[in-house]
């Protein structure tokens, strides 16, 4: 899932080399993905009214459902 998120984020930003994804686990065994992008690209990853971020979360949830896991996306 982290690879999918990294690939999608690299396609959205102007500085793809600055994209980095970190994986964590929450208290309930779910996966937390931290997406780090360049400061200038944060708006591109979030999108107008959060539409891009919401779409990324939807794709990740669909992928996680196939693995029977929960996933959260945090954009930094």
- For residue 66, the model assigns a pLDDT of 87
- For residue 23, the model assigns a pLDDT of 95
Per-block mean pLDDT, blocks of 10 residues, the chain (76 long): 95 96 91 96 95 96 91 93
- For residue 76, the model assigns a pLDDT of 84
Q: How far apart are CA 14 and CA 66, in angstroms?
A: 31
Number of domains in the chain: 1
Range of the domain at 51: 2-75
CATH number where 59 lies: 3.30.300.20
- For residue 33, the model assigns a pLDDT of 96
Q: Which residues of 17-53 are buried (b: 16+ CB within 10 A; e: fewer)?
A: eebebeeeeeeeeebebbbebeeebeeebbeeeeebb
* pTM given for the model: 0.91
């Amino acid at each position: 899932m982290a690879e999918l998120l990294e690939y999608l984020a690299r396609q959205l930003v102007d500085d793809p080399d600055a994209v980095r994804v970190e994986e964590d686990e929450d208290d309930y065994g779910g996966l937390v993905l931290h997406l780090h992008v360049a400061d200038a690209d944060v708006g591109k990853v979030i999108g107008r009214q959060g539409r891009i971020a919401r779409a990324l979360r939807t794709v990740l949830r669909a992928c996680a459902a196939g693995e029977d896991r929960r996933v959260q996306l945090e954009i930094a």
